Amino acid sequence: MRNKSITLSIVLVSIIVMIFCGAAFAKDSLIIYTSMKESLIGGIVEGFIVKYPDVAVDYQSAGAGKLMAKIAAERESGKILADIIWTSEVPDFYSMRKEGILEQYNTPLINEILNPFDDYDGHFTAARLGTLGIAINTDLIKTPPAQWSDLFKPEYKGAFGIADPALSGTSFMSVGMLEKQFGWEFFEKLHANQARIGKGSGQVVDDTASGELAASLAVDYITNDKITKGAHIALYYPPELLMAPSPIAIFKGSPNLEAAKKFVDYLLSHEAQVLIAGEGTLSVRTDVSNQEGFMLPEASEVLARAIKIDYIDMMGRKEELIKKFTDVLQGRK
Amino acid sequence: MNTVVQKSRFGVAQIILFLSISILVVVVAVPVLLILFNAFWVNGKFNLNDVIRIISEPDTWQALMNSLIIAAGTTVGSTIVGTFFAWLVTRTDLPYKGFMKGMFLVPFMLPSFIGAMAWKMLLSPRAGFINKFFMTYFGLSGPVFNIYSYAGIILVEIMYLFPFVFIQVCGALERMDPTLEESARISGAGLFTITRKITIPLVLPSILSGALLIMLYSMAHFGTVAVLGIENGIFNIPTLIYQRIHQSAGSFSSIRTGTVLATILVLTAAFILWLQGKILSRGHYQIIAGKSFRPMELKLRTLRMPLFIFCIAYIGFTIVLPTVVIFLVGGLKTYGLPFTWENLSLENYKFILFKYKVTRDAIWNSVTLGLSAAVITMFAGVMISYVIVKMKVRGKGILEFLGMLPFSVPGSVIALGVILAWSGKYGVNLYNTVWIILVAYIARYMAFSLRANSAALEQVHDSLMEAARVCGASMWQTLKDIVLPLVRPGMLASFFLIFLPSLRELTVSIMLYAPTTRTIGVAIYTLNEDGETVVSAALAGIALIIIVTGQLLVERFLGKKAHR
């Protein structure tokens, strides 16, 4: 009995020592904060590791709002943990550039891609053209929506969801664009039809698939991923198109600067962009076309049809926009 | 032990005392003090007005009220449910009582946030399986029950918390001397009078003490409210702390709101524990004989079968159904598909275990964190309890007070405290590493270890140690050869009391995780939040398998005695 317990404690102690050593000697790795979901970022990181086996990569996938909060907290404590940020909330990148926390990196690949930013200067580069449309549950909605105003119809009553713009970057961008195009009147009418504020951009799509919502404002690849898995949903684009480019940027003072640059270039490369197109969203490369089977508009068409918006103006109005949106949809004046 | 002469001023006793105090100070006292300090001191000055201002902000006040409403509802509900079932399995001739008793204790093992997820799948207003069933087949226009409500949260908490009362009342009813009731009966009292005048007064302290435990737990409970409440704007204190810290960029004002809320939690917890101590020490209620008599069983007669069916239905509805739903949803290709053979597969489970880095990391993190926290806390716990229970040295009073602290500090408070203490302001920056979670786990579970080890040490009579010392053994030898072997069951019990719950921990780790330091609980919660319902359900299923297997192994190897 005594020997047993001594052996037991020795085993336990050595396990702990092993853990401690493991933690101490872990490779210094490239850390990516991204709002891309696992289905998109997972494959890309895998491909990158195959190409650069000597670089260790860790990533955290969460809503843009949460990531920015985390970064702000980390700045407060003195050190940003992440080397790279890749989300779809463009105004955040403008404000980070203004605050001077982004590293300037003029990628040699810039001429091979569609650049949606007129004032491109290397602080951030678009790595994907995200589109948003209306995802419907095909069991609940029989006639596909053709206009944004279709959402005021009775079949969407109490069952149309928009992700919380405080959590989701794409949702914030969409609210800004829809407000610019149609004014707050659009959201007041949505409220009259009892539209709901959901949580993140992934959850509204899942809720649409489950039937908790009949339809939602949905991001292309999240919806297409579920459609591929057999969910009873479909994605439709009204004529006024919502497009949110997803910029990638490197933080100033990153200890893994070279690896970070490699990652940015990899992400813009043909190989990674094919992966991006394969997940049901739009590549920024002119030589990568949409994967067949997804109901996606062509990239050139997207750039022409998209609602234009002034990102710098949006940057200053972030809090106000979110508050106003929440107030309108919750019926507060 | 008074007579033991210390050879030098810094003998083993002093070293042990010093170590014990420093562990408790560093791990528990400093974080809690920092919370109090940050709550009451603004710009170096004591400022009570500001605290009142924060409390009277609408969001904060609402969270406070919600915590109270939910805790009150849960306490009343769980007390009724727990007492009723305890009475049923101890004092009536219900069939298969042993089995029933075991089943009623199962919710102890199940993490309540996984339960909440299952109930969300079953009873969300439009897509919940039960609601959908009734709406499709019975033509109801609205949901049968909306789980996203106070009532929903309270009911789910009751399902997972009632064992606190159940176990206490069962114990009291089993230990109660039946001759008391018999003599009343012989004196001509009817069943109603006996129940009112004998039984209820005898078990009342146990009922109240269990109820207060539930109150304490529910006030500080994170998981259920996080899963069912946040989306619909129902926040309680821990979820509001989480939301403020995580989403408002760690600014000073959000940290202050957090510390004020945390202070309220600590004070409430201290008050509840004080009240519990008061009730338990009311001597005249404790006419419970130690000997085990076979208590008189009430014949249920015609009610026997209906009550039996009721119990089976309750177990089926609250334990089996949610578990089955979790495993089934975990097998679906994507959420929203019907449960047919072609939609079900083991793909998600394979993905989680072999491919998905986030979940593989999470399982590894939870197991290693649990093991390390359990081993460290076990050894620290036995040392500290030894000082408290056995040693008579100066300065022990401080230790006794410090030892009480972990009991009254809820998880979210500990998390906030370690953020304040270990994120670089005082020289050590553990933020975003696995160490900060480890430190928080040690603080959180120290109470378990102290309880188990003190109980074991109290059973070791002083005379054994005195005998060893008289025979010339040194203090160290006495510890090694006499005390440690005797308290080993207590130590092992404390190890498992920490290891198993830490596998499903959510409240602390959700506030402290970084990209690579997710725990199982965090991974399940964040996946669910991201709309990856099927993957998170599959991980929850795997977590359930790990936890239940662990629990069964422990019960098998340690036997009932060492376990509780």
Q: What would the pLDDT profile of A99-141 be if each residue is shown by its tens digit?
A: 999 999 999 999 999 888 988 999 999 999 999 999 999 999 9
pLDDT digits (tens, 9 = 90+) for A277-315: 999 999 999 889 888 888 888 888 888 899 999 998 888
CA–CA distance, A188 with A325 (Å, rounded to integer): 9
CA–CA distance, B184 with B202 (Å, rounded to integer): 14
CA–CA distance, B27 with B402 (Å, rounded to integer): 10
The confidence score (pLDDT) of residue A19 equals 56
Q: Are B335 and B538 in contact (CB under 8 A)?
A: no
Gyration radius from chain A CA atoms? 22
The CATH class given to the B57-289+301-329 domain equals mainly alpha
| Helix B484-503 vs helix B533-563: crossing angle, to nearest 10 | 160
Residue in chain B closest to A209 (alpha carbons) equals B336
**Given CA atoms A147, A150, A151, A152 in this order, what sign does their dihedral have?**
positive
Q: Name which of B129, B334, B351, B428 to mutate to probe chain A: the one with the most chain A Cβ atoms within 10 A of its Cβ.
A: B334
Q: Are A246 and A127 in contact (CB under 8 A)?
A: yes
Q: Which of the four pLDDT bands, split at 50, 70 and 90, describes residue A25? A: very low
Alpha helices in B57-199 (DSSP H): 58-91, 97-105, 112-123, 129-137, 150-161, 163-175, 178-186, 191-194
Which residue reads 């510890």 in tokens? B479
**Beta carbons of A212 and B124 less than 8 Å apart:** yes
Distance of CA B94 to the CA centre of its chain: 30
**Given CA atoms A184, A206, B66, B146 in this order, what sign does their dihedral have?**
positive
Is the model's pLDDT at A61 over the cut of 80? yes
The confidence score (pLDDT) of residue A262 equals 94
CA–CA distance, B504 with B367 (Å, rounded to integer): 10
Q: Which of A42, A69, A198 sits opposite B246 (nearest CB)?
A: A69
**Beta carbons of A2 and B124 less than 8 Å apart:** no
Q: Which of B126, B247, B333 sits opposite A65 (nearest CB)?
A: B247
Q: Which amino acid is at B248?
A: S
Chain A residues with CB under 8 Å of B376 CB are 16
SS3 A306: strand
**CB atoms < 10 A from the CB of A322, how many?**
19
**CB atoms < 10 A from the CB of A303, how many?**
17
The confidence score (pLDDT) of residue A6 equals 57
The tokens for B372 are 């390390």
Q: Are B276 and B214 in contact (CB under 8 A)?
A: no
Chain B residues with CB under 8 Å of A15 CB are 368, 371-372
Nearest alpha-carbon partner for A318 in A181, A169, A204: A169
CA–CA distance, B185 with A23 (Å, rounded to integer): 68
Burial of B97 per CB tally in 10 Å (0-12, 13-18, 19+) = middle
- Whole-angstrom distance between the N-terminal and C-terminal Cα of chain B? 29
Chain B residues with CB under 8 Å of A167 CB are 247
The confidence score (pLDDT) of residue B297 equals 74
Helix or strand run (H / E) with residue A298? none
Chain B residues with CB under 8 Å of A81 CB are 432, 514-515
Distance of CA A298 to the CA centre of its chain: 20
Q: Tell me how long chain A is.
A: 333
- Cα torsion B381, B384, B385, B390 to 10°: value is 150
Domains and CATH numbers, chain A: 25-129+245-296 (3.40.190.10), 130-242+312-329 (3.40.190.10)
The tokens for B283 are 């001597």
Distances (CA, A) of A231 to A170, A221, A223, B333: 22, 13, 9, 8
CA distance A111 to chain B (A): 33
- Cα torsion A114, A116, A121, A122 to 10°: value is -60
CA distance B494 to chain A (A): 14
Residue in chain B closest to A227 (alpha carbons) equals B334
**Given CA atoms A152, A158, A162, A164 in this order, what sign does their dihedral have?**
positive
Alpha helices in B176-303 (DSSP H): 178-186, 191-194, 200-219, 223-228, 237-247, 252-280
Counting one residue from chain A and one from chain B, the pairs whose CB atoms sit within 8 A come to 127
Per-residue pLDDT of chain B (564 residues; tens, 9 = 90+): 444 444 455 677 778 888 888 888 888 889 888 888 888 887 777 888 888 888 888 888 999 999 999 999 999 999 999 999 998 998 888 888 889 998 998 888 888 999 999 999 999 888 889 998 888 888 888 888 999 999 999 999 999 999 989 988 888 888 777 777 788 888 888 878 888 888 888 888 888 888 998 998 899 899 999 999 887 788 999 998 888 877 654 566 777 888 898 999 888 888 888 888 887 776 444 455 555 556 667 788 888 899 999 999 999 999 999 999 999 999 999 898 888 888 899 989 999 999 888 899 899 999 999 999 999 999 998 888 888 888 777 777 778 778 778 777 888 889 888 888 887 777 777 877 899 999 999 999 988 888 888 888 888 888 888 888 889 888 788 888 888 888 888 888 888 888 988 998 999 999 888 877 899 999 999 888 888 899 999 999 999 999 889 888 888 877 654 444
B106 DSSP 8-state letter: G
CA–CA distance, A19 with B520 (Å, rounded to integer): 18
b/e B40-57 (16+ beta carbons within 10 angstroms → b)? beeeeeeeeebbeebbee
CA distance B3 to chain A (A): 31
Chain A residues with CB under 8 Å of B433 CB are 23
Q: Are B100 and B311 in contact (CB under 8 A)?
A: yes
Share of chain A above pLDDT 70, in %: 91
Which residue reads 């998109």 in tokens? A40
The confidence score (pLDDT) of residue A26 equals 47
Chain A residues with CB under 8 Å of B356 CB are 38, 42
**DSSP-assigned states of every residue in B202-215:** HHHHHHHHHHHHHH
Nearest alpha-carbon partner for B405 in B13, B10, B33: B33
B45-46/A160-162 β-pairing: unpaired
